[in-house]
Structure 1
Amino acid sequence: MKETIYIFSSGELMRKDNSLVFASEQGEKKHIPVENVKEIMVFGEINLNKKLLEFLSQKEIILSVFNYYGFYMGSFYPRTHNNSGFMILKQAEHYLNSEKRLILARKFVEGAIKNELTVMKYYNRRGRELSEHIARLEIRLLELNDCSDIPRLMQKEADAKKYYYDSFNIIIDSEDFEFRKRTKRPPKDKLNALISFSNSLIYSITLREIYSTHLDPRIGFLHETNFRRFSLNLDISEIFKPIIGDRTIFQVVNKGILKDSDFDKLGERTYLNDRGKMRFLEVFEQKLNETIKPKTKETSEL
């Protein structure tokens, strides 16, 4: 199975014969067999050249770049090999048709709330008293059917997210990671730093998976399609944030995998340092590689 390579050091990423080599600033060289790589995520400061990009394109390897604070900045994508004019026309048709767009957008929100409920019920069975939060979220889920437009649907999603975030202080054992308020630009405490970093990873991974299909990531349905960014990956990511990102957060906090020393602060901004990112990614990768059985009468757990 192909893997994702994470680069935290500064140096140069280059092509060497029919392989990749990363040379750190300290002079250490690491060979990366391209046959096993599906994506390279760069968190450090690296140099590269056109020869490398041509090779990545040839091998269909995606190169994603994150800034110093761990926020996703963008990706180099190999030449699109799954072009489908028919699919793009169908996507645009569904976006421009308000009824069809609403149906799809509702499904994204429904999937997100159902997975939030799955996470809350998982911890409720393990002694965390979340019955009231679950009941409120189930009401929000039912109310989605009454939404007649996208703005109202997004408001219901925001209401559901508030109840879901309120459950974090019951799920999380550590007072050092108390949830007070969702802050994004910048994240102002350690828990918000984890949420932002996790979401950034999921946006990037979802975009990578869209690339392997005939879908166009520029045409979303819940999030507005505009000139500034991809939107379909934002739609789909909402479904996976709870069961991959948030469960990773709960695990690294409740099991004491992350310490105070794994975070840095600059002004109002709190962020994971490189050591913290690596510890988080180790658990995050485990979640990505888990097999989750579809819920049936016989199986009711993640």
Structure 2
Amino acid sequence: MKKSYYLFNPGSLERRDNTLKFTPISDTETEYPVLGSPRYLPVEDINEFYVFGSLTGNSALFNFLGQKDIAVHFFDYYENYTGSFMPRDGLLSGRMLLAQTAAYQEKKRRLDIAQKFIDGAVFNMLKNLQYYNRRGKDMEDFMEIMKLLALKIPQSKTVQELMGLEGMIRQTYYDAFNLILNDFEMGNRTKQPPRNEVNALISFGNMICYTLCLRAINQTQINPTISFLHTPGERRYSLALDIAEIFKPIIVDRTIFKVLNKKEIQEKHFDKKMNKCLLNTEGKKIFVKSLEDRLQETIQHRSLKRNVSYRHLIKLECYKLTKHLLKIEEYKPFKMYW
């Protein structure tokens, strides 16, 4: 199985025959940069890179990455996603583009697809609360409020109304985090920048989930810029935001509960300054290790009758949406059934 590589240190990446050579560079302030020991990475093992430090490369490198179908996602110092290098889209389909555009332009069809995204997201959020309710955390009041609000999803008349409902449901869900987490408090949801530890983990994890969805979309025929729940805009792949709604509770939130309640991530793993709270490098390494472990876990797929990983579930979701847009099969969002 191919792996994701996370580059936290600044360095240079270059092609060496049929491998990639990464040479870290010390970020200490010296007159001349100090090079670390290079690491050679077989391209057959690489799915994508996540780059959190400065990276030096050349056109030969990116030509090679494109040939080998390897994506590179870039983040700035404040953990904000800034962009991706994606291999050439070899699955372009005019028929698919027309079908996707037509579905967006038909208000009823667009709303129907958007409602399905929210329906799947709410179901998976409730599954998380039910899990902790069975383990002695009183989630009943939160679940009742979310269920009552969820009943209004099919009755929503516009995408804007639907987004408002989703916001209220998610705020109730986040309020439950204070009971789920042992030593940390959620507080209000804050982003750009996050103001406390839980918000920092949510923002960081959600951005990784977004790139996972973008990568899965890129490996299918659908276009990442034409979305149904989030409004398509300039310079963003809004369909990845749509699909991420379904998987954030399953992948990101479960990882957050694990690393905090098992004390894998503690106060010392955050940097706090100027009303910002961000994971430090050590904290990022711990979190992405736990997230990757989650992505590699497998479940018995009901339809396929075989084990599939959480990572592969995202790609399967894109295939289901493709069939729906082409009017081959009705789209049903992924819902946890365990």
Give the TM-score normalised by structure 1. Answer: 0.96
1:210 lines up with 2:217 in the alignment: yes
1:172 lines up with 2:181 in the alignment: yes
User: In the alignment, which residue of structure 1 is the partner of 2:205?
Assistant: 198
User: In the alignment, which residue of structure 1 is the partner of 2:117?
Assistant: 108
User: In the alignment, which residue of structure 2 is the partner of 1:10?
Assistant: 10
Give the distance between the partners of 2:299 and 2:175, measured in 1 at CA. Answer: 26
Deviation at 1:123, TM superposition (A): 0.6
Residue type at the aligned position of 2:2: K
User: In the alignment, which residue of structure 2 is the partner of 1:56?
Assistant: 65
Give the distance between the partners of 1:239 and 1:191, measured in 2 at CA. Answer: 20
1:125 lines up with 2:134 in the alignment: yes
Give the distance between the partners of 1:200 and 1:295, measured in 2 at CA. Answer: 29
User: In the alignment, which residue of structure 2 is the partner of 1:98?
Assistant: 107
The SS at the match of 1:159 is helix
User: In the alignment, which residue of structure 2 is the partner of 1:189?
Assistant: 196
1:159 lines up with 2:168 in the alignment: yes
User: In the alignment, which residue of structure 1 is the partner of 2:159?
Assistant: 150
Q: 1:294 to 1:129 in 2, by over 3 A?
A: farther
1:295/1:301 contact within 8 Å kept? no
Q: 1:162 to 1:172 in 2, by over 3 A?
A: same
Give the distance between the partners of 1:263 and 1:228, measured in 2 at CA. Answer: 30
User: In the alignment, which residue of structure 2 is the partner of 1:242?
Assistant: 249
Which string of whole-angstrom CA distances, capped at 9 and with x for unpartnered residues, describes residues 132-152 of structure 1? 111111112211011011111
Among residues 55, 59, 83, which one is paired with 1:46 in the alignment? Answer: 55
Residue type at the aligned position of 1:4: S
Give the distance between the partners of 2:257 and 2:173, measured in 1 at CA. Answer: 13
The SS at the match of 2:13 is strand
Deviation at 1:101, TM superposition (A): 0.1
Deviation at 1:293, TM superposition (A): 4.4
The unaligned stretches of length 5 or more in structure 1 are: none
> Structure 1 residue runs of 4+, over 3 Å off?
292-296
1:289 lines up with 2:275 in the alignment: no
Among residues 226, 233, 236, which one is paired with 2:233 in the alignment? Answer: 226
> Relative to structure 2, which stretch is displaced further, 271-280 or 130-139?
130-139
Give the distance between the partners of 1:66 and 1:52, measured in 2 at CA. Answer: 19
The SS at the match of 1:292 is strand
Give the distance between the partners of 1:104 and 1:291, measured in 2 at CA. Answer: 27
Among residues 251, 264, 267, which one is paired with 1:260 in the alignment? Answer: 267
Deviation at 1:294, TM superposition (A): 5.9
Deviation at 1:228, TM superposition (A): 3.0
Residue type at the aligned position of 1:267: M
Residue type at the aligned position of 1:203: Y
Residue type at the aligned position of 2:152: E
Give the distance between the partners of 1:122 and 1:36, measured in 2 at CA. Answer: 35
Q: Matched residue pairs, number?
A: 297
Residue type at the aligned position of 1:98: K
Q: 1:292 to 1:139 in 2, by over 3 A?
A: farther
1:110/1:141 contact within 8 Å kept? yes
The SS at the match of 1:146 is coil
Which string of whole-angstrom CA distances, capped at 9 and with x for unpartnered residues, describes residues 36-85 of structure 1? 11101111111011010000001010011111122211100111101011
The SS at the match of 1:23 is strand
Give the TM-score normalised by structure 2. Answer: 0.86
Deviation at 1:292, TM superposition (A): 3.4
Deviation at 1:289, TM superposition (A): 1.2
Residue type at the aligned position of 2:148: I
Q: 1:141 to 1:293 in 2, by over 3 A?
A: farther
The SS at the match of 1:256 is coil
The unaligned stretches of length 5 or more in structure 2 are: 26-34, 304-335
The SS at the match of 2:201 is helix
